Amino acid sequence: MNRRQFLKTAAVAGAGLLILPSGTRAGKNAPGAKLNIAMIGTWGRAEAHFGVVSNENVVALCDVNEQHLAGAAKRYPNAKTYVDWRKCLDQKDIDAVMVCTPDHTHAFITNWAINRGMHVYCEKPVANTVEEARVVRANYLKNKDKIATQVGTQRHELDNFNRVQELIRDGAIGELSDAYAWGDRQIRRAGYLPAKGEPPSYLNYDLWIGPSPMHPYNPDYFSGGSGMNCLSWNMYWDFGSGQVGDMGSHTMDLVWNAIEAGLPTSAEAKGEPFNPDVTPVTLEMHFSVPGNNWRPPMRVGWYQGGAMPNSPRKYVDLRKIDHGAMFKGSKGFLVCDFDTRILLPLGSSADMTYLKPRTKENLLRPVGNFQTEWVKACKGDLKTSCDFEYAGNMIEMMLLGLVAYRAGKKLDYDGVAGKVTNDEAANALLTRKYRPGWTLNG
Ligand SMILES: NC(=O)c1ccc[n+]([C@@H]2O[C@H](COP(=O)([O-])OP(=O)(O)OC[C@H]3O[C@@H](n4cnc5c(N)ncnc54)[C@H](O)[C@@H]3O)[C@@H](O)[C@H]2O)c1
């Protein structure tokens, strides 16, 4: 039994004081049923997780920015510090990793951590290409009975996610045919930033670039405030996927949680003209997703940067919802944002008599604090709301939409093989080139 299995067994048994079996990897600070956590990326989004991880043992900190690293080290003085996540993941007593780095490193760090038997919480979007999403998911599925994973779409804890799912599954709008999600964040850039100055001494710029092709330093990649700096780099293809992976991860989650979908069978997209440096701002993507045991095959759409689905009625102004979703069924529409929802029954059959409201006891179980759900899962049943299968499928679909946008045609997709079947050239767009020395699945 290794340390992780022991923590799990002990937590299930409800044991209070634990003595670790010899040969297991103990945390430096204390035994007890605490996780030994490594934080990779220690500023910005990472700060949103400090509250939860402070109840555990933070044993390792890694950041390419040595000022950010020093700030976190003050908070967690017993943690070992690193600037290179590959070295950090060699530390033997780590049980679990939180990844809060830029998107182009997510799948790398996540795969390496899973391959070393660690539980992983990775900020959204967890992958920057279809292939990355697939490798992360495959590694997770191989280790599903040993590790807990969560993609950082923490809005998923909001009660409205459950309420929307219940209404859709209980047939409030009849048989589902379409779902749409949209976001109106618009950050326009012309191209990669020109070289400007030298990286400051505290920034390991080459490690920041990591697996991506080299681009010259420019301080504007680092000019955002804490938790917002992702908006300084995530629109560039080599560092992110723009709003597809940014707000798309959160908002499509409203849909994904309700429709219980697998990988799409086709994808098509249109948007502003292709820019080889920058992901499109105005874009819409359409997918066919297979049916399941409670609904037929259906269409899923994503709209961003001003593109919007049509409103079901003139008096419903969808543009007033900056990030929202809509479901269309045989008996009407459901429109929602993260916190609220409205039902719009249509037609004479939609008198709502067919809908039996749930009793309080039959409501879906609240997720509770989203990060805590993962911590508990690491010590318990390994189950989380947004594991790398659920969220991996969703981001694979979204990233496939960007491939269809680049291919400029409707793509048929074999989700089992991970192949576009009607355009051989589009398969090259499922992946991206890495700098020598960086291994995705190391
Ligand atoms: N869930 C949410 O609501 C939410 C909100 C904001 C950001 N995010 C996600 O969090 C991630 C980080 O966003 P951010 O705005 O904090 O970005 P950021 O640019 O501020 O980077 C976060 C930290 O990671 C460090 N870092 C960069 N590259 C690293 C590397 N290779 N190894 C170790 N540390 C590295 C940076 O120095 C910084 O301290 C993004 O993927 C973003 O999508 C999620």
d(CA 139, CA 137) in angstroms, rounded, equals 5
Q: Is the pLDDT of residue 77 over 70?
A: yes
How far away, in angstroms, is 391 Cα from ligand 1 center? 18
Gap from CA of 262 to ligand 1 centroid (Å): 28
- For the chain, give the mean pLDDT: 94
Best residue for ligand 1 mutational test, from 87, 101, 371 (most atoms within 8 Å of Cβ): 101
| Ligand 1 pocket, residue 57 CB under 6 Å | no
* pLDDT score at 330: 97
Among all chains, which residue has been given the structure tokens 């593109």? 307
**pLDDT score, position 378:** 97
DSSP 144: T
* Mean pLDDT of all residues in 40-59: 98
pLDDT at position 7 = 60
Domains defined along the chain, listed by start: 3-155 (3.40.50.720)
Whether 239 is in the pocket of ligand 1, judged by its Cβ within 6 Å, is: no
Give 203-237 as a DSSP string: B-HHHHHTTSPP----GGGG-SPTTTGGGGTTTBT
158: amino acid identity, one letter? L
Place of tokens 């590694």: 139
Average pLDDT over residues 68-75: 98
- Runs of H (alpha helix) within 96-217: 106-115, 130-142, 159-169, 205-209
The response to whether residue 101 sits with its C-beta less than 6 Å from ligand 1 reads: yes
* Nearest in space to 406 (alpha carbons), one of 234, 268, 244, 240: 268
User: For residue 77, is the peptide bond before it cis, meaning its omega torsion is within 30 degrees of 0?
Assistant: no
Q: Percentage of the chain with pLDDT > 90?
A: 92
Ligand 1 atom with the smallest distance to the CA of 230 is 15
The confidence score (pLDDT) of residue 394 equals 98
Percentages helix, strand, coil for the chain, rounded to the nearest 5? 35, 20, 50
pLDDT 10s digits, 189-233: 999 999 999 999 999 999 999 999 999 999 999 999 999 999 999
Sheet of strand 36-40: strand arrangement: 80-82, 57-62, 36-40, 96-99, 119-123, 149-152
For the CA of 229, the closest atom of ligand 1 is 15
Q: What ligand 1 atom has the least distance to the C-alpha of 203? A: 37
Whether 85 lines ligand 1, by a CB cut-off of 6 Å, is: yes
3-state secondary structure at position 34: coil
> What mean pLDDT is predicted for residues 337-344?
98
Give 48 Cα–ligand 1 centroid separation in angstroms.
11
Q: Given this model, what pLDDT does residue 103 score? A: 98
Read off the pTM. 0.94
Model pLDDT, residue 29: 33
Mean pLDDT over 12-36 rounds to: 49
Would you say the CB of residue 162 lies under 6 angstroms from ligand 1? no
In Å, how far from its chain's centre is CA 92? 27
Return the SS3 of 402: helix
- Between residues 22 and 308, the one the model is more confident about: 308
pLDDT digits 0-9 by tens, 310-333: 999 999 999 999 999 999 999 999
Span 110-123, pLDDT tens digits = 999 999 999 999 99
Q: Which of 39, 45, 218, 241 best tests ligand 1's pocket when mutated (most atoms within 8 Å of CB)?
A: 45
Instruction: Tell me how far the alpha carbon of residue 269 lies from the centroid of ligand 1, in angstroms.
Output: 28
Q: What is the pLDDT of residue 19?
A: 42
How much is the pLDDT for 33? 87
**Which residue blocks in 232-319 are alpha helix, DSSP H?**
247-259
pLDDT band at residue 23, thresholds of 50, 70 and 90? very low
Q: Is pLDDT of 429 > 60? A: yes
